[in-house]
Structure 1
Amino acid sequence: MPPLDANGMPLRRDDPAARLVCLGVDSIGYVIESTVDPYDSDGVPHGRLLMAQQPLLQGVRVLSLEQVHVLPWGTAFLADFGAEVIRIESPGHMNDRRSGPFPDRVPGETWWNEGGTFAYWARNKESLCLDVTHPLGKDAFLKLVAKSDIVTDNFRPGTMQRLGLDHASLSAIKPDLITLSCTANGHTGPWRAYGARARTVDAACGLSYLTGYAGEGALRASSNYMDHTGGLNVAYALLLALYQRRKTGRGMRLDLSMYETGVSCIGPALLEAQQGIERPRLGTTHLWQAPHNVYPCQGKDRWIAIAVSTDAAWQGLCTAMGQPAWAMAPGFATVPARWQHRQELDTHLSQWTAQQQPQALMDLLQAHGVPAGAVNTAADLVTDAHLRARGYLEAFTNQNAPSVGPRIYAGRPFRTLPEPPRRLQLVAALGQHNMQVLRDVVGLSEADIQGLLEAGALATQPREATPPNAAAASYQASGRDGAADQHYKEAIRTLAQATAHAVH
């Protein structure tokens, strides 16, 4: 049977589209491309095999008016896979560039290029420091839109409309343009004008209500959870839009709500509520499993999580403990019995785990078929042997802030094999690509670019260059300043240098 086009109609044999291009991702963002004749009855590629390695999203240009965390996190995934992501940065609002941590917790002379959080979100992106509220800046931006594929923003609803940069205005310039706006609550509905932070979205979407200990109030995770889930949905939505455009030739407008991404995470609780069931707060315990908790270990504030759901896992735990007499009691013989006597069980188990080192105990329990995980600190993760073995921890020196030195960053949370050489993790200085983008992409003359600079619509440093010293002061006031001893710092530098040498 001949292949079909996007409308379900058979392709002619002489139609170029009948030569299918088979794409196989060989590793993080790289494509092995082969030409296949779809009319070959055996389905085996015949003739010449084209082995062209290129980033998966090469040729896709993204203009991102991004701030804080959620949108920069989402577009970072696109940049990792080869998209040309250009951050459109305002000279007057440094926002996420103000975020540390800074070297030794002290902002330097060019602090806007040194922040660790900023470096993580901005990897592999370009920087165009352009004031789109200025008439000249807006005109240059619109010319750039005409040569781009995607425009993203995470301003409050109405901001892009007031600037004349909404989807209708931009798609009039580029009909197949994809736009995405990521806001707290979306562009419609009674909450559309409400501002938010990740922690307020945590609360609104029900996650905080479900989080906490029995008999106590609601809690929230210390991480900005909704920024991360929202960012993943940004990447997911844009990839789907690119796929749809490839099929239809049409662009689209994407309205992404962080609130809705949060509600999507509590599906079971929504179903239970419709049955009149209120899910209780359980802390680190479980509705029917025991032992299922976090238990103390040797050392200050060291813990291990243990989750036993079957009799086989319970027997493995007993063997690891050396078959203590208390574990042989009838009250611990079955899953229901262990849950009924869970408090007594936790007391016994805590006395044993308190004598153990968490990592060694995790290895012991896993060897006996018991799900267990040491409770790692962030400092533990930086030197984690498993993450290093998988190449997840990536080290590089920000060439635009050499005083920072080599640092280790979290990488991509998935792998395709075999691995290719890693891409250089560029962290652009503010306005580093002004000339490259405006001259080489937009086609402005050097006189036009100079006019933008003189008008204040283009810059390479912030208008307000007051360093964010408040963060450093808060660390000192809390007693956390200097918590990492010199030995640990040296270990990090050694690991960073070794990793950087290995991946570049």
Structure 2
Amino acid sequence: MTTPQALSGVRVLDLSRVLAGPWATQTLADLGAEVIKIERPGVGDDTRAWGPPFTTKTDGTRGDSAYFLCANRGKKSVELDIASPEGAETIRKLAATCDVVVENFKVGGLKKYGLDYASLSATHPRLVYCSITGFGQSGPRASQAGYDYMIQAMGGLMSVTGQPDGAPGAEPMKVGVAVVDLATGLYASNAILAALLHARATGQGQHVDIALFDVQAAMLANQATNYFVSGKAPTRMGNAHPNLVPYQPFPCSDGMVVIAVGNDAQFHTLCGVLQVGALAGDARFVTNAGRIENRAEVVAAISAITGGWTMGGLMARLEAAGVPCGPVNTIDQVFDEPQAKHRGLEIELARDDLSAPTRSVASPIRLSETPVRYDSAPPALGADTEAVLAGLGSQRSD
């Protein structure tokens, strides 16, 4: 007998596309929810065409993009024209059978179809309805679209990412993945779970309002509180850390190793490994605050020594001594790491119309009693339309 998953029995209607919403609903699917993804007929989610690279179908034609595959496993794809009266009515019927609706249309964009929170909750009061937008449901920018890149800029992330002024290549820099979308998806899934618990306890659903801009502000974390406490806006520091030294990549003869010293005892141990006792005994460097004040001298002294080591040799000595460190890996090297193999971070899911299984990254969620399960690959466009719509005869009532 298969063990039920944490969200077994939860049904989610996914009206979102691109990344933030699909990332949230993929997390719910991994945890056992049934996720019904509504897609435009003949086109589908925008990201199906965001390539190359693309998969290859069994007949040799182009399949879905790798981008689409990253955020849509475990879902059922239903083709419906939301703008047609028939399509909107079908979605309303589907919503009546669901616990959760997730959408990322512009504020008010679904009202004309009768698919906004007020319309759906009027007949389905237990419904948890999550809206994901650039700027939220209120405020002077509420009506404007928001995209990850512009929010990284507007929300301050790019102001603290990149080489410092005066260094080669100095300019504000975006992060290499769409971190605002991804964090927004995670905040959304957390909020949805909290709202589901409330609905089960009280019978009352609610509207969950998640904004990319709000999420990016929250993600500033210590950089925001550094500003609140000091009154000074943090600036770009390259790979250096604003609150810790040494905490950055250091050169080796065959690459770079990040050394992450989190306290004064670890710094003393690091100096022992590198055989620079004078550095550990220097009054300027004994405390982290002193090392921050004298950052350039500390980093230069350590770099001069690590440059004569190989990455493997340095990491072996540091790990044995308990000093946190790690290689600067390329993405292919990540999945070759013994730790990644042990944890099963790469998964494969087959789909009948594709010439090879889809490869993707496993969920990092590990539950001892209700483990994540991967039941299906990201779906072909419209693969489940007939089966899902055939089941509309038995609607739930609240």
TM-score when normalising by structure 2: 0.87
> Hey, what's the Cα distance between the residues in 1 that align with 2:122 and 2:369?
43
- Mapped pair 1:81 → 2:31: yes
Q: Is the 8 A contact 1:108 1:114 kept in 2?
A: no
In the alignment, what sits opposite 1:433?
Answer: 384
1:108-147, aligned counterparts within 5 Å?
111=62, 113-147=63-97
Q: Pick closer, same or farther for the CA change 1:97–1:338 going to 2, 3 Å.
A: same
Q: Pick closer, same or farther for the CA change 1:358–1:409 going to 2, 3 Å.
A: farther
Structure 2: runs of 5+ lacking an equivalent: none
| Letter paired with 1:373 | G
- Per-residue deviation, 1:103: 5.0
1:273-292, aligned counterparts within 5 Å?
273-275=227-229, 277-281=231-235, 282-287=237-242, 289-292=244-247
Q: Is the 8 A contact 2:103 2:130 kept in 1?
A: yes
- Per-residue deviation, 1:277: 1.7
CA shift digits 1:334-377 (9 cap, x unpaired): 23554454323323322333343435533321211212121121
- Per-residue deviation, 1:191: 0.2
Q: Structure 1 vs Structure 2: percent identity of aligned residues? A: 31
In the alignment, what sits opposite 1:416?
Answer: 367
- Mapped pair 1:167 → 2:120: no
Q: Give the one of 47, 52, 72 matched to 1:96.
A: 47
In the alignment, what sits opposite 1:312?
Answer: 265
**Which piece of structure 1 moves more, 67-76 or 257-266?**
257-266
Q: Give the one of 279, 282, 292 matched to 1:330.
A: 282
> Hey, what's the Cα distance between the residues in 1 that align with 2:58 and 2:134?
30
- Mapped pair 1:298 → 2:253: yes
Q: Is the 8 A contact 2:107 2:133 kept in 1?
A: yes
Q: Is the 8 A contact 1:320 1:364 kept in 2?
A: yes
- Mapped pair 1:366 → 2:316: no
1:206-245, aligned counterparts within 5 Å?
206-215=156-165, 216-245=170-199
Q: Give the one of 103, 117, 127 matched to 1:153.
A: 103
Q: Pick closer, same or farther for the CA change 1:328–1:427 going to 2, 3 Å.
A: closer
Q: What secondary structure is seen at the aligned counterpart in 1 of 2:314?
A: helix
Q: Pick closer, same or farther for the CA change 1:422–1:149 going to 2, 3 Å.
A: closer
> Hey, what's the Cα distance between the residues in 1 that align with 2:158 and 2:68?
27
**Which piece of structure 1 moves more, 137-146 or 428-437?**
137-146
> Hey, what's the Cα distance between the residues in 2 that align with 1:69 and 1:338?
40
Q: Pick closer, same or farther for the CA change 1:359–1:74 going to 2, 3 Å.
A: farther
> Hey, what's the Cα distance between the residues in 2 that align with 1:278 and 1:99?
40
- Per-residue deviation, 1:231: 0.3
- Per-residue deviation, 1:418: 6.6
Q: Give the one of 193, 205, 221 matched to 2:155.
A: 205
Structure 1: runs of 5+ lacking an equivalent: 1-50, 445-504
- Per-residue deviation, 1:71: 0.3
Q: Give the one of 199, 204, 208 matched to 1:254.
A: 208
Q: Give the one of 347, 365, 377 matched to 1:394.
A: 347
> Max radius of gyration: which structure?
1
- Per-residue deviation, 1:207: 1.9
| Letter paired with 2:180 | M
| Letter paired with 2:83 | T
> Hey, what's the Cα distance between the residues in 1 that align with 2:277 and 2:221?
42
Q: Pick closer, same or farther for the CA change 1:256–1:266 going to 2, 3 Å.
A: same
| Letter paired with 1:424 | D
Q: Pick closer, same or farther for the CA change 1:397–1:104 going to 2, 3 Å.
A: closer
In the alignment, what sits opposite 2:135?
Answer: 185
Q: What secondary structure is seen at the aligned counterpart in 2 of 1:350?
A: helix
Q: Pick closer, same or farther for the CA change 1:137–1:309 going to 2, 3 Å.
A: closer
Q: Pick closer, same or farther for the CA change 1:278–1:81 going to 2, 3 Å.
A: same
Q: Give the one of 303, 306, 309 matched to 1:356.
A: 309
**Which piece of structure 1 moves more, 425-434 or 282-291?**
282-291
- Per-residue deviation, 1:210: 2.8
| Letter paired with 1:284 | N
Q: Pick closer, same or farther for the CA change 1:120–1:398 going to 2, 3 Å.
A: farther
Ranked by relative contact order (alpha carbons within 8 Å, sequence separation 6 or more), the top structure is 2
